[in-house]
């Protein structure tokens, strides 16, 4: 019986026009959100491990009301239960506060393994998995392109810049996965119907024994001071190849001193 908690994030759709609020935090109301794509891969890996043996998958998220949609999607894919930590005080939290809330929530859950996507598709820092591991004092095997679980040992493959590595850890382990772990499944009709009956618990900061002074924008350890839209690119020159497209390309490169 393996108990896996998958931490997921609800993010603004990358194909929409993302922007900021007046307080320099990400505008989450102006655009539709969804389950961060890389977290779908984490859910998929967790489900495959359970399906190969026995166990259950709990999805955990920290976020505003709408973030329930991210949990719902994971439940439709086949996860067994959800936990949604929400509290107005969490708005504007940095990666440290987010990792604190996740770690405290995880402590309340019975788990053997923790899965994360390698990074969110909005903030994109890629540090929350390692921070949660640091806070819980458990090993982290990150950026996995392949995951295998054998007893209480987790083995991953990772494809780094200078080497391809195999990494092992035992016991309660944090695993973060890349999109190389394999396509995430689409929810089936059966999965969508079954998800309606699954339990989603809602926890506040108080439920975790945390107070507002440990999270939120005012307590972030770094601040966005200003933001500005990138100036629109001026339309470039586009030519159609009529037998001399390559020559024109080389000429352009030479005019810009790249040749």
Partner 1 sequence: MSEVLVVVDHVDGAVTKPTLELLTIAKRLGEPSAIYFGGGAVPSVLAEHGAEKIYQLDDAAYTDFLVAPKAEAIAKIAGDSSPAAVLLSSSAEGKEIAARVALKIESGLITDAVDVTADGVTTQSVFAGNFTVQSKVTKGASVITVKPNSANPEASAGAGAVEAVSVDISDAAKGAKITDSQPKAESGRPELTEAAIVVAGGRGTGGDFSEVEAFADSLGAAVGASRAAVDSGWYPHSFQIGQTGKTVSPQLYVANGISGAIQHRAGMQTSKTIIAVNKDDEAPIFELVDFGVVGDLKTVLPQATDEIKKRKG
Does 112 engage in binding with partner 1 (CB under 8 A)?
no
Distance between CA atoms of 37 and 259, rounded to whole angstroms?
40
Taking the complex as a whole, the smallest distance from the CB of residue 192 to partner 1 amounts, in Å, to 26
Using the rule CB under 8 A, give the single segment among 68-76, 122-130, 185-193, 204-212 that binds partner 1.
122-130
Query: 186-215: which residues touch partner 1 (CB under 8 A)?
Result: none
Using the rule CB under 8 A, give the single segment among 46-54, 72-80, 127-135, 194-202 that binds partner 1.
127-135
Taking the complex as a whole, the smallest distance from the CB of residue 65 to partner 1 amounts, in Å, to 23
Does 124 engage in binding with partner 1 (CB under 8 A)?
yes
**Residue 106 CB partners (closer than 8 Å, separation 6+):** 5, 7, 60, 114, 132, 136
Distance between CA atoms of 225 and 112, rounded to whole angstroms?
40
Taking the complex as a whole, the smallest distance from the CB of residue 145 to partner 1 amounts, in Å, to 7
Distance between CA atoms of 231 and 28, rounded to whole angstroms?
23
Radius of gyration of the chain from its Cα atoms, rounded to whole angstroms: 21
Binder of partner 1 out of 48, 108, 139, 185 (CB under 8 A): 139
Query: 143-182: which residues touch partner 1 (CB under 8 A)?
Result: 143, 145, 155, 159-171, 173, 178-180
Taking the complex as a whole, the smallest distance from the CB of residue 116 to partner 1 amounts, in Å, to 12
Distance between CA atoms of 196 and 187, rounded to whole angstroms?
13
CA 187 to chain centre: 19
Binder of partner 1 out of 22, 29, 137, 151 (CB under 8 A): 137
Distance between CA atoms of 208 and 106, rounded to whole angstroms?
10
Q: Is 20 helix (H, G, I), strand (E, B) or coil?
A: strand
Does 97 engage in binding with partner 1 (CB under 8 A)?
no
């Amino acid at each position: 019986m393996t108990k896996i908690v998958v931490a997921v994030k609800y993010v603004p759709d990358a194909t929409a026009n993302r922007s900021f609020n007046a307080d320099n935090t990400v505008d989450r109301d102006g655009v539709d959100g969804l389950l961060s794509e890389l977290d779908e891969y984490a859910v998929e890996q967790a489900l495959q491990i359970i399906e190969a043996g026995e166990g259950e998958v709990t999805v955990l998220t920290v976020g505003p009301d709408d973030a329930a949609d991210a949990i719902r999607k994971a439940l439709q894919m086949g996860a067994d239960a959800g936990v949604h930590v929400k509290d107005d005080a969490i708005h504007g939290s940095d990666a440290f506060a987010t990792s604190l809330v996740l770690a405290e929530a995880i402590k309340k859950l019975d788990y053997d393994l923790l899965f994360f996507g390698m990074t969110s598709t909005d903030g994109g820092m890629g540090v929350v998995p390692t921070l949660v591991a640091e806070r819980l004092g458990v090993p982290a095997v990150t950026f996995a392109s392949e995951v295998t679980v054998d007893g209480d040992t987790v083995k991953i493959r990772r494809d780094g810049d200078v080497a391809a590595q195999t990494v092992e850890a035992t016991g309660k382990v944090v695993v973060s996965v890349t999109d190389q772990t394999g396509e995430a499944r689409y929810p089936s009709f059966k999965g969508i119907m079954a998800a309606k009956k699954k339990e989603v618990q809602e926890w506040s900061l108080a439920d975790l024994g945390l107070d507002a002074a440990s999270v939120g924008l005012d307590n972030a350890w770094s601040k966005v001071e200003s933001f500005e839209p990138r100036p629109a690119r001026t339309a470039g020159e586009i030519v159609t190849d009529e037998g001399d497209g390559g020559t024109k390309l080389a000429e352009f490169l030479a005019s810009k001193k790249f040749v």
